[in-house]
């Protein structure tokens, strides 16, 4: 039986839950939120939809004990308004670090031994806290990280070249936040290096557009939901099916001693293997700067 939990049933969490239910991805779903009325309402709404769906999902709410044998738990708690107002994902750090300690402690108490995928921001720092509090091996706790930012880059490059975004490969690395960067040396279109397809000036003109698009969505809607929820679900599917998916995520990289957006193999045991990249000197410098930024904030925890 495929069993998954979602903790935090806000705009992102409920989109994750809806995707799981409507696409028949899990047999049992456990939803947990601090708002009892909201999580009950979502449960009943899903169950009203069930007679018209080709799948059946058993839904439980507000029960951490039900997560003890879950394959995957996705954390999506947060205060998106803080990020929107400041333009900085670390604006959620104070509230979400507290949430992460509470959630991690409860998961440890019920004996959760599955894979934990974090969406909550600042993603790399909160993933660090969740790993510490659950005591799970580092590979079994990882975050969506730059999986989303990489998708945004693929979208931008694909649109510019009139290509399907899935024909674009490459990585956005580092913090899921202001210090992230596109490693343009890794970007390929239809298996051709991007630098062979367009000029360096054109590449430079594209550099900030993925982040610009993200803030257009966030300021226009008041939040982001579909893209990040899709990323979370895709990673959960990779774990549940042992897909050995090669993708960037917020994974623990021993070389840097922290979680950050970096490519890894995602399978049944989580982020099973970090895949080293050959970067330019400029990209290595940017990566080191991003690592330092993440560590600086994580060290606030003591």
Has residue 140 got a pLDDT over 70?
Answer: yes
How many residues make up the chain in this entry?
302
Prediction pTM value: 0.96
CA 38 and chain centroid, separation: 23
Instruction: Check residue 157 and give its pLDDT.
Output: 98
Give the tens place of pLDDT for each residue, 178-198.
Answer: 899 999 999 999 999 999 999
Query: Residue 122 — left, alpha, or beta (φ > 0 → left; ψ -120 to 50 → alpha)?
Result: beta
Is 165 in a helix, a strand, or coil? helix
**Weakest mean pLDDT among 64-73, 79-88, 215-224:** 79-88
The answer to whether 122 and 177 have CB atoms below 8 angstroms apart is: yes
Give the tens place of pLDDT for each residue, 14-59.
Answer: 999 999 999 999 999 999 999 999 999 999 999 999 999 999 999 9
Instruction: Check residue 300 and give its pLDDT.
Output: 73
- Active site (annotated) includes residue 176: yes
Has residue 83 got a pLDDT over 60?
Answer: no
Residue 104: closest CA among 52, 149, 140 = 140
The domains found in the chain, sorted by start residue, are 3-143 (3.40.50.720), 146-301 (3.90.110.10)
Has residue 86 got a pLDDT over 60?
Answer: no
List 56, 155, 176, 297, catalytic entry: 176
**Residue in the structure block whose two tokens are 């991805």:** 25
d(CA 245, CA 95): 32
Cα Rg, the chain, nearest whole Å: 19
As a whole number, the mean pLDDT across the chain is 95
Mean pLDDT of the 139-151 span: 98
């Amino acid at each position: 039986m495929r069993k998954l939990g979602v903790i935090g049933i806000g705009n992102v969490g409920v989109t994750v839950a809806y995707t799981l239910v409507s696409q028949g991805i899990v047999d049992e779903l456990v939803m947990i939120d601090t708002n009892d009325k909201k999580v009950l309402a979502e449960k009943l709404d899903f169950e009203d939809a069930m007679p018209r769906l080709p799948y059946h999902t058993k839904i439980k709410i507000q029960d951490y004990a039900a997560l003890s044998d879950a394959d995957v738990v996705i954390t999506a708690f947060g205060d998106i308004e803080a990020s929107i107002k400041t333009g900085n994902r670390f604006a959620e750090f104070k509230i979400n670090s507290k949430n992460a300690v509470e959630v991690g402690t409860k998961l440890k108490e019920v004996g959760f031994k599955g894979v934990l995928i974090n969406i909550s921001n600042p993603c790399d720092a909160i993933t660090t806290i969740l790993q510490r509090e659950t005591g799970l091996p580092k590979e079994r706790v990882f975050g969506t990280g730059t999986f989303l930012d990489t998708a945004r880059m693929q979208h931008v490059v694909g649109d510019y070249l009139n290509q399907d975004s899935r024909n674009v490969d490459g990585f956005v690395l580092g913090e899921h936040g202001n210090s992230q960067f596109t490693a343009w040396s890794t970007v390929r279109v239809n298996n051709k290096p991007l630098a062979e397809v367009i000029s360096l000036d054109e590449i430079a003109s594209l550099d900030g557009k993925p982040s610009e698009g993200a803030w257009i969505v966030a300021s226009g809607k008041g939040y982001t939901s579909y893209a990040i929820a899709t990323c979370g679900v895709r990673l959960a599917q990779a774990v549940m099916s042992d897909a050995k998916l090669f993708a960037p995520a917020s994974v623990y990289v021993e070389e840097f001693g922290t979680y950050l957006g970096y490519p890894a193999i995602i399978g049944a045991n989580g982020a099973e293997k970090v895949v080293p990249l050959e970067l330019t000197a400029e990209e290595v410098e940017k990566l080191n700067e991003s690592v330092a930024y993440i560590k600086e904030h994580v060290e606030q925890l003591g």
